Chains A and B, each alone.
Chain A
Amino acid sequence: MSTTTRHHLNRQRRRQARGRTPATPGEAGPAPRQERRPAAKPVREDREDREEREEREERAAGEAPAARGARRPRVPLLAVLCALTLLLGGFAGWAAHRAGELRDDPARANTALTDLARTSEVKARTATAVAALFSYDHTDPGAFERAGKTLLTGKAVEQHRALFAGVLAGAAAQKPVITTTVTDSAVERIDGDRARVLVYADQTSVSTAGPAAAGKKPAKGKAPARDQGVYAGAMFAVDVVRRGDVWLVEGIDTFGR
């Protein structure tokens, strides 16, 4: 509808113009026939009209300086600025979204192996902590307690107590020496100050209370015996968290065992 209205207006303007400039032979045709032209043509005519008008305005620049000439350049400039703002703002929003999406990708958030220094630090600290936490010597129970106090946090305190409840209960009678050594470990995940490490450890457990105190040397692969060493392989996962310079164990996952 607006196209037809504009077309109509243009036609009126052209008629006014014709009053000033002599009519060309081509324009002398009957008006109603022009009205019934197919839709595509008036658009072209419209553009031609505008070009015509612009030419005229440039010629008549001296006649109407404020009314028309001043308004035309400013509206596009404002529009261009607005469009640019929208485009740039849109791009900024989209780029920020994409960057955030990439960063939030769980594969990237996990820096296990990608950050080699941090990975080996986590492995080394975990191995040391596990060795200290899972070893018990009845001649020096203080070391075990110290390890528990300095290396555990959160729910790991309770988990560790439960795991060693049996050992501690019988400590006086059996005089056990339990030594744990990490044989293999792999960092599953490092997310900032938190990490999860899968640990394979060997555990020798010797009761020095029995008559065969010489049995301190662990006998491999034998069934548990009170006076003989027991060699067992353990696997569990520990969650560690960094507090300043130290990594504390905050969870011990024995996989339901």
Chain B
Amino acid sequence: MARAVRTPAGLRPVLAVALVFTLVAAGFAVWTGRDWYAAAHDDSAGYAEQRDRALAAGEQAVQNLNTLDHRRVEQGLDLWESSTTGELHDQLVEGREEFATQVKGAKTVTTARVLSGAVTELDDRAGRARLLVALRITVTTPDSRSTDKDSRMLGELTRTDGQWKLSGLGQAPVGGTAAG
């Protein structure tokens, strides 16, 4: 303080201006810092991330389970098993041989394309989710004829070891209970 008194008159405004700038910068820093903190600690952000991860995994799994090439049956069925968990997984493992024989006999190539998909329910803590996937399935028979079929899939996902996997899959019933 004693030294500031000795400041020549010409330099005092410069210091004052610098101080004002510093204070303004500090104000901005506090403001944006709080903004950033709020954005980084937003609860719904983690939930949104889980939703998107579940959807991405679910869509991929539904597509996998509707894709099978008779020339690479084992590979395809391995993918089926790795995309699923729980009861659905058990069912697939159980019916694997029978299914492989069927597809090899029919010599069909089935491919699927996800038209649209969305999560309907998500329990982040329990690691369970449900989703709707609109699917277009193309079946190509040995005579190179292909047919398209749209499928309204309902999927159930379970998170195991941090990964979302399909634990249930079915088609939305036509004329189901909701229709009355």
A residues at B contact (CB < 8 Å): 65-66, 69-70, 73-74, 77-78, 81-82, 84-89, 91-93, 95-96, 98-99, 102-103, 105, 107-108, 110-115, 181-189, 197-198, 200, 202, 204, 218, 220-221, 231-233, 235, 237, 253, 255, 257
Which of B26-34, B64-72, B80-88, B102-110 lies on the face that meets chain A?
A: B26-34
How far does the alpha carbon of A235 sit from the alpha carbon of B49 in the complex, in Å?
26
A74: which of B11, B22, B47, B122 is its contact (CB, 8 Å)? B11
Tell me if B179 is interfacial: C-beta within 8 Å of chain A.
Answer: yes
A-B contact pairs, 20 of them (CB 8 A): A70-B3, A70-B7, A81-B21, A81-B22, A85-B18, A87-B25, A95-B35, A99-B40, A102-B45, A107-B49, A108-B44, A110-B52, A113-B47, A113-B51, A189-B118, A198-B134, A221-B174, A221-B175, A231-B174, A232-B174
Within the complex, the shortest CB–CB distance from A109 to chain B, in Å, comes to 9
Tell me if B6 is interfacial: C-beta within 8 Å of chain A.
Answer: yes
- Cβ-closest chain A residue relative to B3: A73
When distances are taken between beta carbons in the complex, the residues of chain A under 8 Å from B26 are 84, 88
Within the complex, the shortest CB–CB distance from B76 to chain A, in Å, comes to 25
Within the complex, the shortest CB–CB distance from A122 to chain B, in Å, comes to 11
How far does the alpha carbon of A204 sit from the alpha carbon of B48 in the complex, in Å?
37
How far does the alpha carbon of A74 sit from the alpha carbon of B3 in the complex, in Å?
8
Tell me if B178 is interfacial: C-beta within 8 Å of chain A.
Answer: yes
Residue pair B18, A81 in contact (C-beta under 8 Å): yes
Q: What size tier do the contact residues of chain B reach?
A: 35 or more
How far does the alpha carbon of A105 sit from the alpha carbon of B48 in the complex, in Å?
10
- Cβ-closest chain B residue relative to A103: B39
How far does the alpha carbon of A82 sit from the alpha carbon of B19 in the complex, in Å?
8
Known contacts A81-B18, A107-B49, A186-B118; decide if A95 and B33 are in contact (CB<8 Å).
yes
How far does the alpha carbon of A202 sit from the alpha carbon of B179 in the complex, in Å?
7
- Cβ-closest chain B residue relative to A234: B152
How far does the alpha carbon of A114 sit from the alpha carbon of B18 in the complex, in Å?
45
B residues at A contact (CB < 8 Å): 3-4, 6-8, 11, 14-15, 18-19, 21-22, 25-26, 28-29, 31-33, 35-36, 38-40, 42, 44-45, 47-49, 51-52, 115-120, 122, 131-132, 134, 136, 150, 152, 154, 172-176, 178-180
- Cβ-closest chain B residue relative to A110: B48
When distances are taken between beta carbons in the complex, the residues of chain B under 8 Å from A257 are 150
Q: Give me the 8 closest cross-chain CB pairs, A-B, nearest first.
A: A186-B118, A88-B25, A233-B174, A92-B28, A95-B32, A81-B18, A114-B44, A188-B118
How far does the alpha carbon of A114 sit from the alpha carbon of B121 in the complex, in Å?
10
Most-contacted residue by chain A among B19, B47, B115 (CB, 10 A)? B115
Residue pair A183, B29 in contact (C-beta under 8 Å): no
Known contacts A103-B39, A235-B152; decide if A198 and B117 are in contact (CB<8 Å).
yes
Residue pair B179, A186 in contact (C-beta under 8 Å): no
A183: which of B14, B33, B38, B176 is its contact (CB, 8 Å)? B176
Residue pair A188, B117 in contact (C-beta under 8 Å): yes
How far does the alpha carbon of A107 sit from the alpha carbon of B25 in the complex, in Å?
32
Residue pair B22, A255 in contact (C-beta under 8 Å): no
Residue pair A255, B115 in contact (C-beta under 8 Å): yes
When distances are taken between beta carbons in the complex, the residues of chain B under 8 Å from A233 are 152, 172-175
